[in-house]
Amino acid sequence: MFGANLRLLSETYPSIAELSRQLGINRTQFNRYLSGESFPRPDILARICTFFDLDARILLEPVSALRPSGDILTGEELCEFVGAGALDVPEDEFPSGFYRFTRRSFVNEAQFVIGLVYVYRLDGATYVRGYEAKDALRQQGIPIDQPSREFRGFVTRQEDGIAAVMSRRNAMTCSFNYLSRIASFENNFWVGYVTRTVRESVTGRRAVRMVYEHLQSNRTAIMSAARSTGYVEKEDVLPFHLRLLQPDAEFR
């Protein structure tokens, strides 16, 4: 059961090597856990449970039994308002895979943020995960270790695009994202905006335009995007991204 649970949990990560690195577990040993050949020591089990926000029942019970069903969006109270169809995001409308995104900084008008997110499907729903830029968390006095930087969210289908709600692990703030596909050579760009759940301030923005570019299976582009994440100056933004962001136009 443990191996099956671990394999299921690992499906949401781009690679076993990356997951092993985040957990601090030798990949060969982690593969033994996945195959069910061996079980982790108590301290390693505790580390795995903390990482996935589960408990030691992961050894004996299915993952589905360890987490609340929590069907808020599709439950009786909201089914006629949000509806089950909202979670049915067709693959051809918002494909799974890696996306490079660009937006203006919330706190520094002269800078932009480049990031990389991973969109995936699990149990009929569409999810997104990524990592905050280290500099952004440093400015807020937040730890910059990988678990603290990671954010996840769910995607819903909209009349003319998609929306996503995302948050960092155990955070009390979130962001709302709206994206609509636009015409492009490879039909792989979405444009919209992102808002954050903070109070109004004279020193920062709460909403900015944002561009998503689906990198498909282009490994070179994915690695290049991963290396370029973080704060950048205007001249370092990809030309087509900058054109879509319309930095000199008023955001409405």
Q: Are 134 and 230 contacting, i.e. CB atoms less than 8 angstroms apart?
A: yes
Helix (H, G, I), strand (E, B) or coil at 51: helix
Q: Degrees (nearest 5) of the Cα angle 92, 238, 173?
A: 70
Average confidence (pLDDT) over 186-210:
91
Can you tell me the distance from the alpha carbon of 63 to that of 39, in angstroms, rounded to the nearest whole number?
A: 16
Q: Given this model, what pLDDT does residue 59 score?
A: 65
Can you tell me the distance from the alpha carbon of 167 to that of 130, in angstroms, rounded to the nearest whole number?
A: 10
Tokens of 47: 């580390």
Q: Given this model, what pLDDT does residue 116 score?
A: 95
Residue 70 has pLDDT above 60, yes or no: no
pLDDT tens for each residue of 4-30: 888 888 887 778 888 888 889 888 988
Q: Given this model, what pLDDT does residue 242 score?
A: 96
Taking all residues of the chain, what is their mean pLDDT, rounded to a whole number?
Answer: 86
3-state secondary structure 78-119: CCCCCCHHHHCCCCCCCCCEEEEEEEECCCCCCEEEEEEEEE
The conformational region for residue 27 under phi > 0 = left, psi -120 to 50 = alpha, else beta, is alpha
Residue 124 has pLDDT above 70, yes or no: yes
Q: Are 163 and 156 contacting, i.e. CB atoms less than 8 angstroms apart?
A: yes
Residue 73 has pLDDT above 60, yes or no: yes
Of 52, 58, 75, 84, which is closest to residue 5 (Cα–Cα)? 58
Residue 197 has pLDDT above 80, yes or no: yes
The conformational region for residue 109 under phi > 0 = left, psi -120 to 50 = alpha, else beta, is alpha
Q: Given this model, what pLDDT does residue 1 score?
A: 76
Cα distances from 43 to residues 39, 47, 83, 125, 144, in angstroms, run 11, 6, 43, 33, 23
Residue 64 has pLDDT above 70, yes or no: no
Is there a common fold for 2-66 and 85-245?
Answer: no
pLDDT tens for each residue of 126-146: 999 999 888 777 776 777 788
Q: Given this model, what pLDDT does residue 22 score?
A: 87
Cα distances from 163 to residues 27, 104, 156, 218, in angstroms, run 36, 19, 5, 25
Q: Please state, as a whole number, how many other Cβ atoms lie within 10 Å of the Cβ of residue 128.
A: 22
Identify the residue with better confidence: 60 or 210. Answer: 210
Q: Given this model, what pLDDT does residue 203 score?
A: 77
Give the highest mean pLDDT range of 60-64, 136-140, 224-228. Answer: 224-228
Residue 67 has pLDDT above 60, yes or no: no
Q: Are strands 97-104 and 189-196 parallel, antiparallel or unpaired?
A: unpaired
CATH for 2-66 (1.10.540.10, 1.10.260.40, 3.90.1150.10, 3.40.50.10260):
1.10.260.40
Residue 165 has pLDDT above 70, yes or no: yes
1 CB-near residues (< 8 Å, 6+ apart): 59, 60, 61, 62
Q: What is the CATH number of domain 85-245?
A: 2.40.128.120
Listed by start position, the domains of the chain span: 2-66, 85-245
pTM, two decimal places: 0.72
